[in-house]
Amino acid sequence: MGRKNKFIESHKKSILDATTLGCTKRLACKYAGISETVLYDWLSRGRGAENEEFITFLEDFNKAEAMSALRSLGTLNQAMKAGDIRAAMFLLERRHGYNKVDQPLIEIKVSDDSLNVRELMEEIDREQIKLKPIALPTININE
């Protein structure tokens, strides 16, 4: 007697429903009652164009992941329009990689034997002028 086929509609539907809600693959598998190994095997078979059923499942799985992301982004956008700056910061950090640490560094080299305050101040002024073209964008959250 062979292994029990787990690629059945109820398992596939459970995986797709959980993924659409935003569950991780691990949590979706727990919900569906299958192992992560089984899910990764299904996805791999879909990529390998082994079987039309697996290809369709892979396409549906990708759509479910996209729907989850779109729903979350829609919620974030509504919160931003309502003036929630935390939602805007979250989106900037997670989606666009913005990080407060990523501020430009200015390097000024000064040797002990030639410390000249006037030259040092002039160099600081020159470096600040270089930073002026980096203007912050104007964002209208009411659009």
Closest by CA to 56, choosing from 70, 42, 71, 40, is 42
Listed in sequence order, the residues at least 6 apart from 142 whose beta carbon sits closer than 8 Å to its beta carbon are 81
Residue 117, pLDDT > 90, answer no
Find the distance separating the first CA and the last CA of the chain, reported in whole Å: 63
Do 108 and 127 form a contact (C-beta atoms < 8 A)? yes
Which amino acid appears at position 72 of this protein?
S
Q: Supply the pTM of this predicted model.
A: 0.60
Which amino acid appears at position 71 of this protein?
R
Residue pLDDT, tens place only, 27-70: 999 999 999 999 999 999 899 876 889 999 999 999 999 998 88
Compute the radius of gyration of the chain from its Cα atoms.
26
Do 88 and 82 form a contact (C-beta atoms < 8 A)? no
Would you give the distance in Å from CA 137 to the centre of its chain? 22
